Amino acid sequence: MAVDIGREIGTHVPAPRSEARPPSLEPLNLLQWAQAVELPRDAGAAATPSEMRRAWIHRAPEHEVVALFRAVTANGEPIPAPWWLRALADGRLESRDIGFRVEDRMAHLLGRRPGWEFVPWAVDGESGYWEFMPSERGISGHRIPTTILNTSRHEGWIDVLPAHSGSVPEPIAVAGLAGLRCRLGEFEAVR
């Protein structure tokens, strides 16, 4: 005895797979990348960049990380990735550890100064950034605080976005940690 389940109560029985739309599959390397950059849920509480380094891209052998990054970006599509990996894959940074050192030295400098807060909740795969809270809603009335972030855009590895309220201003390229140290007074003056 054959039972036609669903028809007697009026529910729709899906067509066989050959007649239905084929499944939409995400390319495997994009799925691998999403897993590679995924951070644990508690990473949002990180107070420094080093506390965020818990994804596969931070722990796996460096050559495997670079190989997967290159495979995923071979078609030219942008993907979330830390600045140091972009620079490493381009051959402009010698190692992941050097990138970590840049982030850690910046954290050491900014973490000791009043008003600077580390913001860890960038997109998975991206590094966090620093905000100067006194520049937000201060005398100048800016809604977005001065922001310092690492970048692969230039070999100083540091960009500053001035406090603003409207459209995002062009980033100011800073010549490394020494350049940041020299210009911090200028960046902190906007309140």
What is residue 23's predicted lDDT score, i.e. its pLDDT?
Answer: 60
The pair phi, psi for residue 9, each rounded to 5°, is: -110, 10
Q: Is 139 helix (H, G, I), strand (E, B) or coil?
A: coil
Question: What one-character DSSP code corresponds to residue 185?
Answer: H
Measure the CA–CA gap between 102 and 49, rounded to whole angstroms. Answer: 10
Q: Rounded to an integer, what distance in angstroms lies between the CA atom of residue 132 and that of residue 127? A: 17
For residue 11, the model assigns a pLDDT of 62
Distance, CA of 157 to CA of 99 (rounded, Å) = 9
CA max distance for the chain:
85
**Residue 190's pLDDT is what?**
80
Helix (H, G, I), strand (E, B), or coil: what is residue 131?
strand
Cβ atoms within 10 Å, residue 104:
15
pLDDT of the residue at 184: 96
Q: Both tokens of residue 66?
A: 């670079």
Which 3 state secondary structure label does DSSP give 22? Answer: coil
Which pairing describes strands 158-161 and 116-119: parallel, antiparallel, or unpaired? unpaired
Helices then strands, counting H and E runs in the chain, come out as 6, 5
Count, residues in the chain: 191
Give the count of beta carbons closer than 10 Å to the beta carbon of residue 83: 21
Q: Is the entire prediction scored with pTM above 0.85?
A: no
pLDDT tens-place values along the chain, 191 residues long: 555 555 555 566 666 655 556 665 556 888 899 999 988 777 778 899 999 899 999 999 999 999 999 999 998 888 999 999 999 999 999 999 999 999 999 999 999 999 999 999 777 778 899 999 998 877 777 889 999 999 999 999 999 999 999 898 999 999 999 999 999 999 998 87
Is the Cβ–Cβ distance between 177 and 102 less than 8 Å? yes
Q: How much is the pLDDT for 43?
A: 74
Spatial distance between the Cα atoms of 84 and 104, rounded to a whole number of angstroms:
13
From CA 69, how far away is CA 14, in angstroms rounded? 39
The residue ranges of every structural domain in the chain are: 43-188
